[in-house]
Structure 1
Amino acid sequence: MTGGQIFALVCIVGFPVWALIGTYLAWKQVRRRKIAEASVKAMEEKYASIVSEEAELQRLRDVANSVSQDISNLRSSYNEKKAIFDRLVKEVAIFDEKLAFAEMGVYEPHFDYTDSEQYKQAILDNRETQKRMVSNKSAAVARTEWTVSGSKAKGQTMNNRNVKLALRAFNNECDAAVANVRWNNANAMEKRIVNARQQIDNLNATNDIHITDEYLRQKLVELQLTHEYREKLKAEREERAEMARAAREEQKFLRDMERAEEEEDRYQRLLEKARSDASKAAADQIGAYNEKIQLLEKDLADAHAKFERAQAMAEKTRSGYVYIISNIGSFGEEVVKIGLTRRLDPADRVRELGDASVPFVFDTHAIIYSDDAPALERALHNEFQKTRINAQNFRKEFFRVSIDEVEQAVGRLAPGAPFFKDVEAQEYRETLARRNAMLAAVEPPELLAFPEAI
């Protein structure tokens, strides 16, 4: 076959292939154009509401401004509601003792009378002043002269009745506040009286009747005097109890002195008898009698020293012992009590403090004798005044301070006084050991070996 024939054959066979390729390319182009048209149509449908870019931007700005205004309105509304809430909390606190104490704080005294009788007389004088104000019509005033049915007299009668009603309502509120005032609501009761006056004046605004500022002040003074009078009575009761305790301690101290004197006399008689018997004893018994006489002489010397110490303390009313004790089982670590006793044996006072009123006995760190024990006690108290646990009642002599700090203070204020830093706490530690042993007996062995598995 010649070359021309071959070429002709290829052309004949290849024509359908090229036709198919051309058809495929044309179909693909048409499909691509349809997809593009569909996409454009979808975009047009999606953003059909947008007339122009400027209009859409303005719409978005309007939406943003609306949201910003809504936020501003919410904040303003929140602030208004928060102010109302705070006001209601304060009003509720006036009638709730726990809230009152938390919201209004501790009452500060307004008067400095020395005893309850002065407070009592001041209360009587205050009530007489209130009666005079009511009598001369200066407790509440009607500022408008009304005319009823053309009669000023009837209008005055109406004013007088309304004034009496206002005063009766106000006095009842004040009497209730005075009757219920206590240490934790005194400030709230003052607010209650002020609010009662305001509410009664608001109710009488139409009649133009008002409770005077001076009458309100007298009622507040009555409340304050009554509260402080009751607190003074309580303090005086505590003082009398402390004086009675001191008197009992003094009587016990005198009895200890008498017992010391009796003990000295007894040893003196025994010693004289032993010497008399020794003078009559045989030679082989002299050694035993001499030994007995030496023991009696030592006991007599101790008894004499004890009596002289008791007698000296009786003559020096300011002499005594300052003790420093702790009780970690009852009060925890770094809590000490610094007190004073005039007992002949100061350890009696420590044992008395560790009686059934506390779970464990006290550990003694120092017992310091001083010719001016109250001054030494006061100096130690001042040293740790900021750490006093009960800042209201100074007869509660507990301080939150470390043993090292107390030792340093004792070294400065009472040089040479013995001080023991060890905290034995025997009963407390034995209790812990017993409790741990009981837990170990109850817990499964694997839990004790691997506590992290609990």
Structure 2
Amino acid sequence: MPKQPWYLQPWMIALCFALWNIIVPPIVGIILIVLEYKRRKKIRQMWEEVGFDDVLKVDQKKAEIEKEIEQLESQKEERNKETTRLDNLISEKKEEMIVLNDELLLQSFGFYEPKYDLESSQAYKDKLDDIRERQKQMAKNKTATSHPENFSLDGNKSKGKAMLNNIIKMTIRSFNNECDTVISKVKFNNIEASEKRIKKSFEQLNKFNQYNTVTLKQDYLNLKLEELYLAYEYAKKKEEEKEEQKRIKEQMREEAKIQKEIEEQKKKIEKDEKHFNQALQDYRNRLENADEKMQEELESKIQEYEAKIAELEKEKENVDFRAQNARAGYVYIISNIGSLGEDIVKIGMTRRLEPLERVKELGNASVPFTFDIHGMIFSNDAPSLENALHHAFDHLRVNKINNKKEFFRVSLEDVEQEVKKNHDATLELTKMAEAEEFRQSQALDDSQTKGYYSAEHEVATTVE
């Protein structure tokens, strides 16, 4: 661009107009403006001839495009941020779905493998107390979190230290509260989901506090996970011990009933034996002075009472044997189709002298119908026979978790074959379950149903 003459400079023109009170300078100023206009017009014509004007337009267009590119890149960056945020949100929701699916699918149903497998609930309690004490010490010594040693607020270290302590306390308290809630609700079907929730809480708190430079340590998380599994196994062990105590008490009650039954049977035998011996002695005394005809009758009576006394001797030996041999007893096979359904039997054992009494007790108020007896097997080692049958049908247990529940989904034919084939015991099972009360109840239901529909039909006919 040609250099602008000095007399056409803006300051010169402005000076002319500043001297407006003198007539000549303003006129000169107007003339200079006209000259500057013509000069610029001439320059523009020259630019157009050489094409420099197009260059200016291109340069201006380039600047506009660059500005649009900057705007688009800015929009793209915002969209990328939003996309990243949405991706993270989707990932979080998917993780929540995994946790919920873990609970709904009951993936650990009955297959929980103990991590500690301690001997008693007291051992679990001691270890739990130790874990919790270590957590308290970490919180107290400020080793549960990673945090800056020197922290200032507005240049004041005291304020910074106070704020940092508050952040640490709030973080640990929030994590502890979340863990306590999860641990208090842990069950066999959500143990893995509970672990994931604790880990998720750990990650979220550390994410929220990343700008405060305060994060929970992995060691503290590990202690919480130990507490989770210990608390679950502790509760489970306590329940097992409770069940075991219940079983022992039931066994003690059963033993007491057996002893009572044996003592009563002994007393009865002794009473009958005394009565028969007195009668026998009386008949022998009468025999000495009796005539021939009376002698025959008395000798017949004497033989009868001698036979009864011999039977009492055998019965006494049997009772003594049962009292001394704690393993002698009966293995019973019973069913209850009204309460349990078809092809479900209970295989149990009793040492009672009268095993039917035990079966009657099983059919108490806890089930709607009494049990039907299909077989009674006496054995000198009843527990071994019972265990052998349980083992043979272990895969057919109704309750596969608690082996103390002795119910099996098995046919009576299979039970009979197993006893005869493997245990050398004479057994003829009653295949048909009488189920008298159940069948009568069914008949009444059918009768009432027929009566109901019959009454409905009569009403409908009357209306028509």
State the AA in 1 paired with 2:431: D
1:243 corresponds in structure 2 to 248
Q: CA deviation at 1:182?
A: 3.4
> After the TM superposition, which residues 331-370 of structure 1 pair with which residues of structure 2 at under 5 Å, given as runs?
331-370=340-379
Pick closer, same or farther for the CA change 1:313–1:278 going to 2, 3 Å: closer
191-200 or 164-173: bigger deviation: 191-200
User: Do 1:271 and 1:293's aligned partners in 2 also have CA atoms closer than 8 Å?
Assistant: no
Alpha-carbon distance in structure 1 between the residues aligned to 2:402 and 2:184: 25
Correspondence 1:430 to 2:433: no
User: Do 1:270 and 1:296's aligned partners in 2 also have CA atoms closer than 8 Å?
Assistant: no
Any idea what SS the aligned residue of 2:342 has? coil
Deviations 1:263-316 (A, max 9, x none): 221222122221222134344555555555455444444443333223223322
State the AA in 2 paired with 1:217: N
Any idea what SS the aligned residue of 1:208 has? coil
Correspondence 1:379 to 2:388: yes
Alpha-carbon distance in structure 2 between the residues aligned to 1:413 and 1:407: 10
Any idea what SS the aligned residue of 2:345 has? strand
Any idea what SS the aligned residue of 2:349 has? strand
User: Do 2:363 and 2:369's aligned partners in 1 also have CA atoms closer than 8 Å?
Assistant: yes
Residue of 402, 415, 420 corresponding to 2:429: 420
1:326 corresponds in structure 2 to 335
Residue of 91, 94, 97 corresponding to 1:89: 97
Residue of 266, 272, 277 corresponding to 2:277: 272
User: Do 1:260 and 1:303's aligned partners in 2 also have CA atoms closer than 8 Å?
Assistant: no
2:196 corresponds in structure 1 to 191
Correspondence 1:105 to 2:108: yes
> After the TM superposition, which residues 275-290 of structure 1 pair with which residues of structure 2 at under 5 Å, given as runs?
275-281=280-286, 282-283=290-291, 284-286=293-295, 289-290=298-299
State the AA in 2 paired with 1:314: A
Any idea what SS the aligned residue of 1:322 has? strand
Q: CA deviation at 1:113?
A: 0.8
Alpha-carbon distance in structure 1 between the residues aligned to 2:337 and 2:89: 50
State the AA in 2 paired with 1:161: N
Correspondence 1:136 to 2:138: no
Q: CA deviation at 1:168?
A: 1.2
Alpha-carbon distance in structure 1 between the residues aligned to 2:167 and 2:276: 95
Correspondence 1:205 to 2:214: no
Pick closer, same or farther for the CA change 1:280–1:177 going to 2, 3 Å: same
Deviations 1:211-256 (A, max 9, x none): 1111111111112112211111111111111111111111111122
Alpha-carbon distance in structure 2 between the residues aligned to 1:446 and 1:237: 54
- Structure 2 residues not aligned, in runs of 5+: 1-86, 458-464
Correspondence 1:229 to 2:234: yes
Residue of 254, 260, 278 corresponding to 1:255: 260
Alpha-carbon distance in structure 1 between the residues aligned to 2:146 and 2:456: 85
Q: CA deviation at 1:397?
A: 0.6
1:403 corresponds in structure 2 to 412
Q: CA deviation at 1:417?
A: 2.1
User: Do 2:283 and 2:301's aligned partners in 1 also have CA atoms closer than 8 Å?
Assistant: no
2:38 corresponds in structure 1 to none
Correspondence 1:149 to 2:140: no
Deviations 1:85-130 (A, max 9, x none): 654434556xxxxx72535533442211111111111111111221
Alpha-carbon distance in structure 2 between the residues aligned to 1:172 and 1:442: 59
User: Do 1:267 and 1:296's aligned partners in 2 also have CA atoms closer than 8 Å?
Assistant: no
Report the count of equivalent residues.
365
Identity of aligned residues (%): 37
User: Do 1:139 and 1:214's aligned partners in 2 also have CA atoms closer than 8 Å?
Assistant: yes
Alpha-carbon distance in structure 1 between the residues aligned to 2:296 and 2:242: 63
Q: CA deviation at 1:375?
A: 2.0
Pick closer, same or farther for the CA change 1:207–1:421 going to 2, 3 Å: same
State the AA in 1 paired with 2:186: V
176-185 or 219-228: bigger deviation: 176-185
User: Do 1:257 and 1:307's aligned partners in 2 also have CA atoms closer than 8 Å?
Assistant: no
Larger gyration radius, structure 1 or structure 2: 2
State the AA in 2 paired with 1:426: E
Deviations 1:168-197 (A, max 9, x none): 111122222233333444333323222221
User: Do 1:119 and 1:229's aligned partners in 2 also have CA atoms closer than 8 Å?
Assistant: yes
348-357 or 422-431: bigger deviation: 422-431
RMSD across aligned positions (CA)? 3.0
Q: CA deviation at 1:149?
A: 2.5
Deviations 1:120-161 (A, max 9, x none): 111111112212322332211115854323345543443232
State the AA in 2 paired with 1:170: F
User: Do 2:329 and 2:352's aligned partners in 1 also have CA atoms closer than 8 Å?
Assistant: yes
Alpha-carbon distance in structure 2 between the residues aligned to 1:278 and 1:91: 88
Alpha-carbon distance in structure 2 between the residues aligned to 1:139 and 1:263: 75
Q: CA deviation at 1:389?
A: 0.9
Deviations 1:27-59 (A, max 9, x none): xxxxxxxxxxxxxxxxxxxxxxxxxxxxxxxxx
Correspondence 1:174 to 2:183: no
User: Do 1:274 and 1:292's aligned partners in 2 also have CA atoms closer than 8 Å?
Assistant: no
128-137 or 280-289: bigger deviation: 280-289
1:315 corresponds in structure 2 to 324
Any idea what SS the aligned residue of 1:369 has? strand
348-357 or 144-153: bigger deviation: 144-153
User: Do 2:152 and 2:158's aligned partners in 1 also have CA atoms closer than 8 Å?
Assistant: yes
Any idea what SS the aligned residue of 2:331 has? strand
State the AA in 2 paired with 1:193: I
User: Do 1:387 and 1:399's aligned partners in 2 also have CA atoms closer than 8 Å?
Assistant: yes
Alpha-carbon distance in structure 2 between the residues aligned to 1:441 and 1:408: 45
